[in-house]
Structure 1
Amino acid sequence: MKKIVIILAALLTVTGTGLSAPVNDLDKGQTAAGIGNNTFYLEHKLADNFTLGLQNVNWDQRNNMDNIYGQLQLANNFRGIIGSNDVDSNAKVYVGMAINGPIAPEWEGYTSLIAGKEFKELQVGANFKITYNADINFTYHTYMPDEGENKSGVGIGATLKF
């Protein structure tokens, strides 16, 4: 177990692409806090079908991006997403969707796609349940701005639910 924690910490340190928050299944009143490559986030399920989230992404230790988003549970494994990047006068509203489901014992797979006026973002990943309230997240993420360079890569993170 100690070797796994050391390897995960090393991977979090050396992989360079930031990633969006993973898709989490929460119970009403439950909160998720997570870290990943250059990002941290908090989510809270306010109602049976609505989750509110806050996220900070630090691309390449230069450009911070703060997100606020909501997820509306439309079906058991399908949700709509609406949010805003850079919560200030330059805010960029986006919409999207996510789907998730079991792929093996203790594994939950997910994919999400969001798009705004100036960007698109795709994420495909899996959460591995290590305890009843802790997951390790593995993901492929690509952020595609209309202008500038795409940012893509694989990442790893951890989520604690309470």
Structure 2
Amino acid sequence: MNILYLHGLNGSLKPEKRNILEAYGTVIAPSIDYQNNSNAISWLYDSYANKSIDVVIGSSMGGFAGFHLSKLMQIPALLFNPALAARSVEQQTPITPSNNGNNISIVLGAKDNVVDPKGTLHYIGEHLNAEQPIAIKILPLLEHRIPFDVFKEAVGGFF
């Protein structure tokens, strides 16, 4: 299985989280310069559409990119605090199919003060498609950063 991991703004995949993901497959974790590439989603699609990617996992800006990339690539997604409603850097959103033919799982932190969880829920409600299965888990004490144990549990449940 090939897992495409998309980090957040100015982030990277930490070794502890990579180890969790590697239990499920080969991890591909590109470095993404969201600030200087306003077409990051299209760039990711062009780079990985023919690489037999099975799932996309993303956090924050990577969750935003992963949401749309999962629809373009028709693969399942696991997204942590995805920046769906608003972002601090400009990103072009390509036209995508209404659903990805698979499940999109979203983990939201109720105490996230970087990506507003209410804005994310509103965005999902505004763009809800009956054909797109979306599972949302809201963690009341979770902030923006995803602790190791939360990541491990969510990834285990996803796979």
Alignment TM-score > 0.5, same fold: no
TM-score w.r.t. length of structure 2: 0.31
TM-score w.r.t. length of structure 1: 0.31
